[in-house]
Amino acid sequence: MQVKINGKYEETKANTILELLQSKDIEPQMVSAELNSKIVEREAYSSTKIKEGDVIEFLFFMGGGGR
């Protein structure tokens, strides 16, 4: 199926947010996920289904600061 991930259309065989993260080698605890403009709770990644045409945003946590 085709979904839009962080602004780019991609093909995926994943059925859930968790499967999509795993297919992209992304650690679930390192991102927040938004599905069709709604934040998905981390505990729901494995049960949140994705479908053709969904818009998914992954927000990555970054370290830094200090001089």
Q: Splitting the chain (67 residues) into consecutive groups of 10 residues, what average pLDDT does each group show?
A: 97 98 94 97 98 96 67
Instruction: With respect to residue 66, please indicate whether it lies within any of the assigned structural domains.
Output: no
Instruction: With respect to residue 65, please indicate whether it lies within any of the assigned structural domains.
Output: no
Helix (H), strand (E) at residue 56: strand 55-60
3-state helix, strand, coil in the chain (%, to 5): 20, 35, 45
pLDDT at 63: 67
- Number of domains composing the chain: 1
Give the predicted TM-score (pTM) of the model: 0.87
Any idea what the CATH number is for the domain that residue 26 is in? 3.10.20.30
DSSP state of 16: B
Instruction: With respect to residue 31, please indicate whether it lies within any of the assigned structural domains.
Output: yes
Residue 35's closest CA among 6, 10, 2?
Answer: 6
Domain extent, residue 26, equals 2-60
pLDDT at 61: 75
pLDDT at 64: 66
